[in-house]
Amino acid sequence: MSFPENRYEVRAIVEGEQDQFLAQMCEAFGIDIAVARPIFFDDPFFDLSHKRVLVDTNTDQFISSLTIVPTAIRVMGGALIPVAGIANVCTLPEYQRKGFAQRLIRSTLQSVPTEFGYAVAALSTDQPAIYRSAGFEPCSTAVHWTAHRKLLPQFIESQYAEEINYEEIKSILPEIILLYDHSQASQPGTFVRSETRWSAILQNHQTTKVITWRNTGRLEGCLFFRTKEQRGDRVLEVLDLMADNAAATRGLIGYLRTFENIDLVSGQTSITGMQKLGIQHIPRFTSYKRDGVMLAIIDFDACLSIAAGTGLMTPVVRRSESGLTIRLENAISIKDRKPLRLFSVSTQRLGVAIGMAPADEITGDWISVDIGAMAQLFFGYRSASKLRSQDRLWISTDNSLAITESLFPGYDTYLGQLDAF
């Protein structure tokens, strides 16, 4: 669809427009505004600057809208990349399938690096094809699993598990946060849970229950769950399981077997998390994999600079006399449209330079990669060799491919249900 010049504007909402934003969103999603109002205004992430709309300037009508949810993701070396979570993308029914949401998303991605410092955007969707044209690509795998409760292992460690109520959750929240941070700190591909995120978890999951695991008095394991009816079965759904040792994991899983009013236990986890559960081989266990969170790199220079600051990349780049130049195809940011060169400043320090040479004059070790493929490479979802075989990454030399493989190793990025935008 072609948009008339100056007819439509993308911007943040301002004071006094909250009700109009809420009304547009409820109409687009078919939600009762009376039910949505308290949830909307009590959201711990509520921020007018993060509510984006596409407006018809002739009528001042909000046509499409979205919400930016701030977060961050860990990469190799523990560095944190600021992420704009894209949530509640919607368009009024009469304007749908005409390109308005696409224009809103593209404009938002172009503005947020400068306004807020976000280097990456993330979203969860069942329709990935819609967002690929905006630079998003699936960058994780979610494993959905189901087990019959009676067939779960009778782990002896379950004797140290205990179910607690909602008020007790609040009272031990500092311990839970400490456990989460400790169990996730060394895992690239995990999303940070800020104080605001934990507030949102408590507010949005008041019907959620928690099982704790203690052997020495210290909190060593914690499992968030809820129960529901599903096609005639009583299902216990595991929303999150965090543990800093294998015994705690076994104890939490074993404790689920004691819920006599439950038929099935289900959950969603990463590939790594599935392996840690240790229940894949029990009778009648089923699982399937789906694409997880989609990511788009919106400021590649920032991503590279943050990752380079860990020092892990320095010895790899030193394998090349000229460093490694990365040319990003279809970059979202204007500055990323110039080649970026990683070079060794010293034995410990790595530099990132922008536009060291025109794209047609690049020499030495270089790669050229499309924006979506770069997200998959950077966040460990696809290897450089795999992307090259798909004709989405091009190299100057075998050495440049070897350097790229070492710079961006594979890992298991995952967005948990409690972290969803």
pLDDT tens across 93-147, in order? 999 999 999 999 999 999 999 999 999 999 998 888 889 988 899 999 999 999 9
Identity of the residue numbered 295:
L
What is the Cα 373 distance to its own chain's centre? 16
- Under CATH, domain 8-118 is a member of which superfamily? Gcn5-related N-acetyltransferase (GNAT) (3.40.630.30)
Q: Which residues contact 363 (CB under 8 A, 6 or more apart)?
A: 322, 357
**DSSP-derived 3-state class of residue 285:** coil
- For the chain, residues classed under CATH 3.30.1050.10 are 295-407
C-alpha radius of gyration, the chain, whole number: 23
Burial zone of 114 (CB within 10 Å; 0-12 exposed, 13-18 middle, 19+ buried): exposed
- Fold of the 295-407 domain: Nonspecific Lipid-transfer Protein; Chain A (3.30.1050)
Q: Which residues contact 14 (CB under 8 A, 6 or more apart)?
A: 48
Q: What is the arithmetic mean of pLDDT over 316-342? A: 89
- For the chain, residues classed under CATH 3.40.630.30 are 8-118, 143-291
Q: Which of 28-32, 165-169, 208-212 has the lowest mean pLDDT?
A: 165-169
- Rounded to an integer, what distance in angstroms lies between the CA atom of residue 381 and that of residue 373? 9
Among residues 329, 347, 326, 335, which one has the least CA distance to residue 302? 335
Q: Which of 176-180, 203-207, 258-262, 403-407 has the lowest mean pLDDT?
A: 203-207
Query: Quick one: tokens of 415?
Result: 């967005």
pTM metric for this prediction: 0.92
Q: Which of 66-80, 183-197, 358-372 has the lowest mean pLDDT?
A: 358-372
Give the per-residue pLDDT at 183.
86
The pLDDT-based confidence of 216 (bands split at 50, 70, 90) is confident
Give the per-residue pLDDT at 380.
95
Q: Which residues contact 166 (CB under 8 A, 6 or more apart)?
A: 206, 209
List C-alpha distances in Å: 37 to 25, 28, 33, 201.
11, 15, 6, 18
> Do 88 and 49 touch, CB atoms closer than 8 A?
no
Is a pLDDT exceeding 80 seen at residue 298?
yes
Q: What is the arithmetic mean of pLDDT over 5-9? A: 83
Would you tell me how many other CB atoms lie within 10 Å of the CB of residue 376? 26
Give the per-residue pLDDT at 361.
58
- Fold of the 143-291 domain: Aminopeptidase (3.40.630)
Q: What is the arithmetic mean of pLDDT over 235-243? A: 96
**Percent of the residues in the chain that have a pLDDT greater than 70, as a whole number:** 97
